[in-house]
Amino acid sequence: MYMKIPMSSPDLTDADRQAVIDVINTPNLSMGKYTPAFEKTFCDLTGAKHAIAVNSGTAGLHLCVRAAGIGPGDLVITTPFSFVASTNALLFENAIPVFVDIDPRTGNINPELAADAAKNIEKYLPRHSSLTTHDSSLKAILPVDVFGQPADMDAINTIAKEHELTVIEDSCEALGATYKGRQAGTLGDFGVFAFYPNKQVTTGEGGVVITNDDKAANMMRALRNQGRAPGDTWLQHTHLGYNYRIDEMSAAMGASQMSRLEELLTKREQVAAWYEARLSEIPGVEVPFVESFTTRMSWFVYVIRFDKKFDRDEIAKRLEARGVPVRPYFLPIHLQPYMVERFGWCEGDFPVTEDLGRRGLAIPFSGVMTEEQVDYVCMVVREELRK
Ligand SMILES: *Cc1c(COP(=O)(O)O)cnc(C)c1O
């Protein structure tokens, strides 16, 4: 038996498609009414005072870094077990990521290590940062809600309060998740969501920042629009800004998708439940761990871990050959070539991150997967592990 399974698929309806067509039948393809309508869906969902839509999650993270006043040489505690964008947003401003290792069960930043780092920062500086704590200052903490599960944000906020740090919550994988009943993205000073096609909600490319901070929100609105402050004319630019605007087609698709958020999340929950029932029966396979304080997991990807005795990369090849695409999740950020070159990190620096990075494998996942497809993937995993 052979099936060709897609790694991920957007979950689009005719209504989502029609929303895009409605836009392209008007002359307003940017800066029209759909962008604020899309933004409003985030205020409605999360209760945040401001939502600022941009053209990627990465752009959203960068705007948070700028709005928080993080600049050259500033230190930000963050995690090496993430998609690179969470760290890159700091590097764009020449800030220095101070990595701490993660919780082995969830893959989220370990709050005890983060607390220790905030107290004893010099112990955690990268080898090549050539800084002393005299000429650098700890400004912020940037946790990531990995694979759709919120980080332990109460613990993070306690650290932030004690050391007067800004908290930027990278919720790009966790739209709709809840932590102790509170929405992901609302748990720090800033929250960021992303809408690449494999995310829970997609706009093709896009992102949204949420915050309750009026001043930061105004700044981010200016920075996404070439630095135009309120009152500036089209060719007046108060700040050094960017073109991080989302277009109206994307915003319209996003607003339509957001009106179906509950359905989108529920379908993904069903697929995750099918996987869990089948995969937890297979010896040598660990299924995702959901914390007690995760009151709702927002399934982004489905990452399983193999027992150390298996060669993950060899199994990955065999799964691919049988029509089951897979991805190692994540290749640790500190070991990416440009990071090694710039900061001098080595294998062994973050052992938990590296261990999960070696054993974890994302298998096909989306809200439109059928039970037959899930059956096939699980059968292939079972058979290939037995060989
Ligand atoms: C998807 C994602 C982003 C943003 O990605 P874009 O492709 O720029 O939208 C940022 N951080 C994490 C952890 C992500 O998974």
List the domain range (segments joined by +) for residue 101: 14-258
Question: What pLDDT is attached to residue 45?
Answer: 98
The pLDDT of residue 387 is 86
Domain boundary among 229, 258, 287: 258
Q: Summarize pLDDT for 328-357 with one digit per residue, the tens.
A: 999 999 999 999 999 999 999 999 999 999
Which of 200, 230, 258 marks a domain boundary?
Answer: 258
Q: What integer pLDDT is reported at residue 298 of this predicted model?
A: 98
Q: Please give the number of the atom of ligand 1 that sits closest to the Cα of 173.
A: 15
**Residue 135, pLDDT above cutoff 90:** no
According to DSSP, residue 99 is labeled: E
Average pLDDT over residues 280-303: 98
Convert the pLDDT of each residue in 307-317 to its tens digit.
999 999 999 99
pLDDT for position 128: 87
Domain boundary among 196, 226, 258: 258
Q: Are residues 266 and 227 in the same domain?
A: no
Distance 71 CA to ligand 1 centre (A): 21
Residue owning the nearest CA to atom 14 of ligand 1:
172
Question: Do 41 and 93 sit in the same domain of this protein?
Answer: yes
Atom of ligand 1 nearest to the CA of 58: 8
Question: Cα of 56 to ligand 1 centre, how many Å?
Answer: 8
User: Across residues 48-55, what is the average pLDDT?
Assistant: 99
Residue for token pair 């001098």 = 344
Going by pLDDT thresholds of 50, 70 and 90, the confidence category of residue 134 is low
DSSP 8-state symbol, 109: B
- How much distance in Å is there from the Cα of 8 to the middle of ligand 1? 15
Both 84 and 177 in one domain: the answer is: yes
Q: Are strands 182-183 and 285-286 parallel, antiparallel or unpaired?
A: unpaired
The total number of structural domains in the chain stands at 2
Q: What is the pLDDT of residue 130?
A: 65
Average pLDDT over residues 222-233: 97
pTM of the model: 0.98
Helix ranges, 225-336 (H): 248-258, 261-279, 312-321
List the residue whose alpha carbon is closest to atom 9 of ligand 1: 57
Question: Residue 241 corresponds to which tokens in the numbers above?
Answer: 């800004």
Establish how many alpha carbons lie within 13 A of residue 218's alpha carbon, considering only the half-sphere containing its beta carbon: 7
- Beta bridge partner(s), residue 77: 98, 141
Gap from CA of 344 to ligand 1 centroid (Å): 25
State the DSSP code for 330.
P
Atom index in ligand 1 nearest the CA of residue 207 equals 9
> Does one domain contain both 235 and 272?
no
* 208-219 average pLDDT score: 98
**51 has pLDDT over 80:** yes
Asked whether 141 and 76 are in contact (CB, 8 A), the reply is yes
Q: What is the CATH number of the domain that holds 346?
A: 3.90.1150.10
Q: How far apart are CA 46 and CA 24, in angstroms?
A: 29
Cα of 192 vs centre of ligand 1, distance in Å, is 9
Give residue-wise pLDDT tens across range 144-197: 999 999 999 999 999 999 999 999 999 999 999 999 999 999 999 999 999 999
With a Cβ cut-off of 6 Å, ligand 1 is lined by 56-58, 82-83, 85-86, 144, 170, 172-173, 194, 196, 207
The answer to whether residue 133 scores a pLDDT higher than 70 is no
Q: What is the pLDDT of residues 320-332, one digit of tens each?
A: 999 999 999 999 9
CA of 309 to the centre of ligand 1 (A): 32
